[in-house]
Amino acid sequence: MRNRLIALSTSLALTAALAVPAMAQDMAAPEPFADDARPYVPIVSKGFQHQFWLAVKAGAEAKAAELNMDVNFIGPENESQVDKQMEMLQAEYDKGPDAVCFAALDSVAATPLLEQMQADGIPVIAFDSGVDSDIPITTAATDNVAAAALAADKMFELVGEGAKVGVIVHDQTSRTGIDRSEGFVARAQELGLEIVGPQYGGGDQLKSTDLAKAMMEANPDMAGFFGGNEGSAIGVVNAVNELGKSGEIVVIGYDSGIIQINAIKDGTMAGAVQQNPVGIGAKCVEAAAMALEGMEVPPTIDTGFIWADASTIDSPEVQAVLYE
């Protein structure tokens, strides 16, 4: 398999940050900071459980190097550790950062701490997953409702009206989990699909595998399955393979990773919505720089998405946002 733009290695991080996704939003470029005025900006992510977050990290660190900023990309071991993420956010706040980038595991839990940051004049930039608050000056993220609705459109094209479709997403507390679940289900029901679930696997592929197998066994007439993030989608792929249903059940995923890329190429997965994780990381750091330089920051930053299937996965447009 030829090298992709993002191989998640240090040597490719700067190259990967240059990827331009479909429908990404352009912004005015901030100036690099002087050596004696380098700001410190912690980037508190949802975890390191998936290759997705390593791609976000690569984009953030490459943009920080370009703008002469100091960043610290951290996150809990997995995406179920809300309390651990709050501890990390508190520890970074205690360091007196110039700005903070934050991807919330729970869209409400961080509000008291974010209020303290706001009172201290620390700009907060949400990325990937927003919070139920107007404290962040912007959110750099995929339009997850629209992206999940696209996945539902693709599912309908392949299974037809009245078909039964299972749904597994990572959680029902983060903004991404909520938006992807609601975006897919609302559009699928509008098109006349019958929904089983959603079930929540915490982004863990093993748990998602068990959930998907149980749902398929309870619904032998299942025609399709949507996995709402990398771990969820891999879990569905595993379940389809373990139950010998590859080719019988249409699987649509979200994000890439080598397992999903291979599943699309071998036909186990019909396709997946691709975000731009490197772009998400780069845009949150860029927004922090803009805020610190007194520039106007748009209230939302759409980092774009694109559909990938066997016919498009090797195209330059899709290759630009894949990660392994």
pLDDT tens digits, one per residue of 59-100:
999 999 999 999 999 999 888 899 999 999 999 999 999 999
Position 11 pLDDT exceeds 70:
no
Q: What is the pLDDT of residue 286?
A: 97
Q: 258 falls in which pLDDT band (50, 70, 90)?
A: very high
Question: Model pTM?
Answer: 0.80
Strand partners, 73: 43
Mean pLDDT rounded to a whole number for the chain = 90
**Contacts (Cβ under 8 Å, ≥6 apart) of 311:** none
The proportion of the chain whose per-residue pLDDT surpasses 90, expressed as a percent, equals 80
Closest CA to 125 of 305, 285, 14, 321: 285
- For residue 229, pLDDT over 90 is answered with yes
CA 106 to each of CA 45, 127, 129, 291: distance values in angstroms, whole numbers, following the listed order: 12, 13, 9, 24
Strand blocks (E) in the chain: 40-44, 70-74, 100-102, 124-127, 138-141, 164-169, 194-200, 222-227, 250-254, 271-274, 300-302, 306-309
Per-state percent for the chain, helix, strand, coil, to nearest 5:
40, 20, 40
Q: How far is CA 110 from CA 67, 121, 177, in A?
A: 28, 17, 17
Structure tokens at 174: 């983060």
In this predicted model, what pLDDT tens digit does every residue of 261-286 receive, in sequence order?
A: 999 999 999 999 999 999 999 999 99
| Model confidence at 241: pLDDT above 90 | yes
Average pLDDT score over residue span 200-212: 95
Q: In this model, does residue 176 exceed pLDDT 70?
A: yes
Taking alpha carbons only, the member of 274, 317, 306, 284 closest to residue 62 is 284
| Domains of the chain as residue ranges with CATH | 10-142+277-304 (3.40.50.2300), 144-274 (3.40.50.2300)
Where is pLDDT greater, at 168 or 23? 168
Number of other CB atoms surrounding residue 15 within 10 Å: 15
Radius of gyration of the chain (CA): 19
Give the pLDDT score at 25. 59
Q: Which amino acid is at 209?
A: T
- What is the model's pLDDT at position 24? 53
